[in-house]
Amino acid sequence: MDKEVGERMSLVCQGLIKMLELSFHGFRKLSEESFAKVEEARKEVQQQSTELANFIVSKSSSPDHGKEWAKPYLSMASSLDRMTYNIEGIVDRLKAMTRDHVLFSDRAIREVNDVFQKAMDLQESLPDLILNQDKHLAQHIGEQVRSVFKIANGFSEEHEDRLIQGICMPNHRPCTWDSGISEGGVHSYP
């Protein structure tokens, strides 16, 4: 990997880590102040991401490089952008929870905390993976991602059971979410 590209990608990853951590804090506090901090971090990440893409494109126009050189880097930069958008989706869910006065049960809070923590742990591995390109670390992260998806899917199925049993309220359904990391990043789905 090109050293400068790797360093710039690592900076974007560090911004994403901060954004996810602030989102987790926002889940615990559900305040406008916490959402404003996430928004500030998002702007910083988007600026870094734009600079990264511009750097890759400008470097690809040099005689030493070309379009083929840039493609894998632009693909990785695009994945980082999708992570940003997915974290934004989580924050939108949190804002809706606040606006609609949706309360989670203690169990749901533990489940979301668990998935958030696992997602943050995975996200923290990305800068090292990008800079060192360690295949064993990549395999380990892949295994952890599958584990997070399995856990999140299990929580989602258990929630559906609680909906059917009448323990959870169907009118809160738009605020429920699965959360995990994939090549596109953290996901938040209605």
Render the burial of 18-57: b for 16+ CB within 10 Å, e for the rest: bbbbbbbbbbeebeeebbebbeebbeebbebbeebbebbe
pLDDT band at 15 (very low <50, low <70, confident <90, very high): very high
Cβ atoms within 10 Å of 112's Cβ, excluding its own: 20
| pLDDT for the residue 170 | 66
Confidence of residue 172 (pLDDT cuts 50, 70, 90): low
Give the pLDDT score at 47. 95
End-to-end CA distance of the chain: 37
Per-residue confidence (pLDDT) for residue 95, from 0 to 100: 84
- Reported as type and span, the H/E element at residue 181 is strand 181-182
* Half-sphere exposure in the Cβ direction for 87 (13 Å, CA): 32
Q: Is 89 helix (H, G, I), strand (E, B) or coil?
A: helix
Residues above pLDDT 70, as percent of the chain: 89
- CATH code, residues 3-186: 1.20.58
Q: Is the pLDDT of residue 40 over 90?
A: yes
Mean pLDDT, rounded, of the chain: 82
Residue range 13-42: mean pLDDT, rounded? 90
Please tell me the distance from the alpha carbon of residue 32 to that of residue 96, in angstroms, as a whole number.
12
41-64 pLDDT tens trace: 999 999 999 999 999 999 888 777
Single out the residue of 89, 68, 72 nearest to residue 174, CA to CA: 89
